[in-house]
Amino acid sequence: MLSVKHLIDTTSLTADDITQILDTARSFSEVNKRAIKKVPALRGRTIVNLFLEPSTRTKSSFELAEKRLSADSLSMGGATSSVVKGESLADTIETIDAMSVDMFICRAKLAGTPHKICEHTDAVVINAGDGKHQHPTQALLDLYTIRENFGHLDGLKVALVGDLSHSRVCGSLVPALKTMGAEVTLVGPPTFQIADPDYFGVPQTSDLDSVIADMDVVYMLRVQLERMEGAAIPSRREYNRLWGLDMSRVDRMRPEAIICHPGPMNRGMEINADVADCARSRILAQVNAGVLVRMAAMYLLLGGENNGVSA
């Protein structure tokens, strides 16, 4: 059983919580290889997907995970909810809550929205990404992917490279990696760096070439053009030259080192096309892990035990 009722951020998770989610996700990997990819673990439970911001990977991943656990689900977006008619988010949540649902999955542009939802429902809430704040299931699927590759997380050296200041992936992955004993280095242009260098308690540099040869994992962050206010970088070409991952940099990585990216990718900007598709890339493995980890998180938060496959 997890130590938290909701999954709002990774800073609230203990190492035991994270290990339990990753182990349960691994048990669900066997389900995803079957011809009939379904278990009755959440049969009779109702889950509401409230996506107030566009999403392809996360939304489809949650919906698939819900179907594979046999949950009843309802998907709502900004344009299909009464929020567009002027109804407050609190009223929307309390209205849906009155229908006796068990869980809300929330994606929102504004940081803190999932936490606000918790104040208006007794149902479990999972943060599917809120503004620049956190994206905890993304961090968990990243940990799952890395652990599957190396067999452990403690002691690994991980560089997060790119748009640090706009990234909720950075906000959730750094604390989770630290909790599991990994060593994190942040790399990015001065205009994309974390304003308070002590916020995460990890080193930060603008020189990718000075650290790349020491890393076990090079995690490229998407440049979030939609969240920028003004020109934070000189040009796509200049960004790629200084902080993008091309084959010349890949050739300097450790032989066993891997490459991750949360998607969607700006090919030719933070990562070159041939790098994204090379043997070191674990980008599609991350996508697959997303379904497993979300199955595990929903199952455990709704009271399941470790082995969901036999539920």
Annotated binding-site residues read 57-58, 85, 107, 135, 138, 168, 222, 263-264
Name the β-bridge partners of 205.
187
**Residue numbers belonging to the annotated binding site for carbamoyl phosphate:** 57-58, 107, 135, 138, 263-264
- Tokens representing 7 are 């999954």
CB distance 130 to 108 below 8 Å: yes
Beta strands 46-51; 72-77: pairing state: parallel
* Residue in this structure with the two tokens 């609190």, named with its chain if needed: 90
Chain Cα centroid distance, residue 304: 22
Q: Is the dihedral of CA 125, 221, 178, 143 positive or negative?
A: positive
Residue type, 164: L
Q: Is the dihedral of CA 93, 96, 100, 102 positive or negative?
A: negative
What is the rounded CA–CA span in Å between residue 59 and residue 299? 17
* Residues whose CB is less than 8 angstroms from the CB of residue 32 and which lie 6 or more positions away in sequence, other chains included: 68, 288, 291, 292
Chain Cα centroid distance, residue 124: 18
Chain Cα centroid distance, residue 164: 14
Beta strands 157-161; 72-77: pairing state: unpaired
**Residue numbers belonging to the annotated binding site for L-aspartate:** 85, 168, 222
What H or E segment, with its residue span, contains residue 103? strand 103-108
